[in-house]
Amino acid sequence: TTIDADPNVPVVRIVREFDAPPPRVFACHADPELFARWCGPDDVAMTVETWDFRTGGSWRFHHMRGADAYSFYGSFHEVRPDELIVQTFTFCGVPDGVALEHLRFVALSGGRTRLEASSLVDSFEGRDAMLSSGMDVGVRDGYAKLDAVLATG
């Protein structure tokens, strides 16, 4: 997993390859039960409150760590099966900090997928706050769990 901050634009880019074809990786983003199995750090439990996975739909989920709850919500702006998800992403603790995310599912040889994700925020301060929040741990832990979900078929 690579996580890079663009020096010229307040965006974070994440790239990760998976040993599964795009339809399987995409399905793990589309299905709320599968998504809840892998999204986030290892030390949180996740519940999905709303999941209307379609262009124009919305989503909301919660991560729980002990007695602490962290809630997130957004809208699906564009959904193209096995190819692209464009969505907003908001942490309820910072409701003015809306990120615009693009997730591209790129087919590679050997039935593999490269996921190319970008999160654009409105300022460098917002981007740096996102990076210092521990999001890298959630991304790395989550993608490791996604590997396990994909391995189980």
Taking the C-alpha atoms of residue 50 and residue 73, their distance in angstroms, rounded to an integer, is: 9
Taking the C-alpha atoms of residue 86 and residue 80, their distance in angstroms, rounded to an integer, is 9
Q: At what angle do helices 22-30 and 135-151 cross, to 10 degrees?
A: 120
Contact status, residue 113 vs residue 18, Cβ threshold 8 Å: yes
- Does residue 133 have a pLDDT over 90? no
Q: Give residue 114's pLDDT.
A: 98
pLDDT computed for residue 25 by the predictor: 98
The pLDDT value recorded for residue 96 is: 84
Express each pLDDT in 91-125 by its tens digit: 998 878 899 999 999 999 999 999 999 999 999 99
Please write the tens of the pLDDT for every residue from 16-65: 999 999 999 999 999 999 999 999 999 999 999 999 999 999 999 999 99
- In this prediction, residues 64-90 reach a mean pLDDT of 96
User: Residue 134 — pLDDT band, cuts 50, 70, 90?
Assistant: confident
DSSP secondary structure letters along 122-134: S-HHHHHHHHHTT
pLDDT higher than 90, residue 127 = yes
pLDDT of residue 128: 93
pTM of the model: 0.94
Q: Which of 12, 15, 20, 17 is nearest to 2 (CA)?
A: 15
pLDDT of 153 strictly over 80: no
